[in-house]
């Protein structure tokens, strides 16, 4: 279910409940089951949905509903709060400071949009007066360096990489060192991906992190991966200390539920979302407006 439909389904479930003459436990359960179905179809992880349902039942007092309060509003507010709670891990991510060198390492599976997102992140900060630089430590995918080079050149962002060197750890360390010397304040390290979660990938991520000592590791996730989001995010979190999430491809047929899973799995906030292939199709992520949109 795409985001725009989720709000509609939840509204319909609430409307049906409001139409009932008496709101008893059965009617409330039917309404919550309907909402649960809608959330699952939007790829929100089963456990998150189940916990949410339990919490809402605790919060929503049937006596209040019977006493002529606005039932719809009470439940809608409870859902809103629960979704916000899932998306807000309680602590903000590391925030780089302009003028002080920070190393930001990007991790994610191949095809997640990692390379594109590195440039978007650099471009976003460059427009705000930062001095970003891009390091291509993806020696696994043929053409990765060319892609980064092309993007970086278009955005006039300095870059570092090699056609010859096959050791990603070495390239990452050299690139970071060079850009520190050049006084860049946002050194972005793009790493390899694989088509699936593999031990070799996670070992490589560990080594690159060890060599570059990133201030922040950003996990990049394709919003269309569905229920796989939780496990994938957790697997990355277990090998490197992921501190933030960027969800890509939120345009078009994106399902939003994976974002909730990624936050739950990494205990890190979503900081940006990708909304298209172009460099400027990139938005700061704010929990409340996102959930409002989600609920329609
Ligand atoms: P990587 O393998 O993770 O480095 O992925 P790439 O950066 O090469 O991206 C894979 C594909 O996804 C490319 O065709 C990108 O143009 C596309 N892509 C990346 N981010 C977005 C996004 O936010 N929206 C859309 N529609 N496409 C995106």
Tell me which of 108, 113, 117 to substitute to probe ligand 1's pocket, judged by most ligand atoms within 8 Å of the beta carbon.
113
Strand segments, DSSP code E, in 108-166 are 132-137, 159-160
Q: Whole-model pTM?
A: 0.92
**What value of ipTM does the predicted structure carry?**
0.99
Tell me which of 115, 116, 147, 191 to substitute to probe ligand 1's pocket, judged by most ligand atoms within 8 Å of the beta carbon.
116
**Interval between CA 143 and ligand 1 midpoint (Å):** 14
CA angle 163, 145, 110 (to 5 degrees): 125
Identify the residue whose C-alpha is closest to ligand 1 atom 16: 277
Nearest-atom number in ligand 1 for the CA of 118 is 7
The predicted structure's pLDDT at residue 21: 77
Residues 255-271: tens digit of each pLDDT: 678 888 899 999 999 99
d(CA 113, CA 277): 9
| Residues of the chain under the 50 pLDDT cut | none
**CA nearest 219: which of 271, 177, 289?**
271
Helices (H) and strands (E) in the chain, counts: 12, 8
| Ligand 1 pocket, residue 115 CB under 6 Å | yes
The predicted structure's pLDDT at residue 25: 82
Phi, psi for 248 (deg, rounded to 5) = -100, 170
**Interval between CA 115 and ligand 1 midpoint (Å):** 7
Q: Which two tokens stand for residue 197?
A: 């979660």
Q: In angstroms, how far is the first alpha carbon of the chain from the final one?
A: 14
Nearest-atom number in ligand 1 for the CA of 147 is 8
Nearest-atom number in ligand 1 for the CA of 141 is 2
CA angle 280, 108, 238 (to 5 degrees): 135
d(CA 110, CA 177): 26
Contact present, 86 and 48 (Cβ < 8 Å) = yes
Residues 6+ apart with CB under 8 A from 101: 179, 180, 183, 184, 185, 187
d(CA 6, CA 42): 7
Q: How far from 168 is each of 136, 216, 257, CA to CA, in Å?
A: 8, 18, 33
Contact present, 159 and 133 (Cβ < 8 Å) = yes
d(CA 263, CA 275): 19
| Ligand 1 pocket, residue 111 CB under 6 Å | yes
| Ligand 1 pocket, residue 256 CB under 6 Å | no
**Interval between CA 154 and ligand 1 midpoint (Å):** 16
| Ligand 1 pocket, residue 223 CB under 6 Å | no
| Ligand 1 pocket, residue 108 CB under 6 Å | yes
**Interval between CA 117 and ligand 1 midpoint (Å):** 8
d(CA 184, CA 197): 32
In total, the chain counts a number of residues equal to 296
**Interval between CA 245 and ligand 1 midpoint (Å):** 15
How many CA atoms are closer than 13 Å to the CA of 22, on its beta-carbon side? 3
**Interval between CA 276 and ligand 1 midpoint (Å):** 8
Decide: helix, strand or coil at residue 185: coil
**Interval between CA 131 and ligand 1 midpoint (Å):** 24
């Amino acid at each position: 279910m795409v985001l725009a439909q989720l709000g509609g389904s939840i509204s319909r479930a609430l409307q049906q409940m409001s139409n009932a003459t008496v709101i008893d436990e059965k009617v409330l359960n039917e309404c919550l089951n309907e909402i649960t179905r809608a959330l699952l179809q939007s790829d929100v992880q089963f456990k998150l949905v189940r916990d949410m349902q339990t919490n809402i039942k605790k919060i929503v007092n049937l006596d209040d509903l019977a006493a002529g309060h606005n039932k719809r509003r009470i439940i809608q507010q409870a859902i809103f709060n629960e979704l916000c709670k899932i998306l807000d891990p309680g602590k903000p991510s590391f925030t780089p400071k302009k003028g002080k060198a920070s190393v930001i390492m990007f991790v994610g599976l191949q095809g997640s949009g990692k390379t594109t997102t590195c440039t978007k992140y650099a471009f976003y900060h460059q427009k705000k007066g930062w001095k970003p630089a891009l390091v291509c430590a993806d020696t696994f995918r043929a053409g990765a360096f060319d892609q980064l080079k092309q993007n970086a050149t278009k955005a006039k962002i300095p870059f570092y990489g090699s056609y010859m060197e096959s050791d990603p750890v070495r390239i990452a360390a050299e690139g970071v060192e060079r850009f520190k010397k050049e006084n860049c304040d946002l050194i972005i390290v793009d790493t390899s991906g694989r088509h699936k979660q593999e031990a070799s990938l996670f070992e490589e991520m560990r080594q690159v992190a060890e060599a570059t000592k990133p201030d922040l590791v950003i996990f990049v996730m394709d919003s269309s991966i569905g229920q796989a989001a939780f496990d994938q995010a957790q697997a990355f979190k277990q090998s490197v200390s992921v501190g933030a999430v960027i969800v890509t491809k939120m345009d078009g047929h994106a399902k939003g539920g994976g974002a909730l899973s990624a936050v739950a799995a990494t205990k890190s906030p979503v900081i940006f979302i990708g909304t298209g292939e172009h460099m400027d199709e990139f938005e700061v992520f704010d929990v409340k407006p996102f959930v409002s949109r989600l609920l329609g």
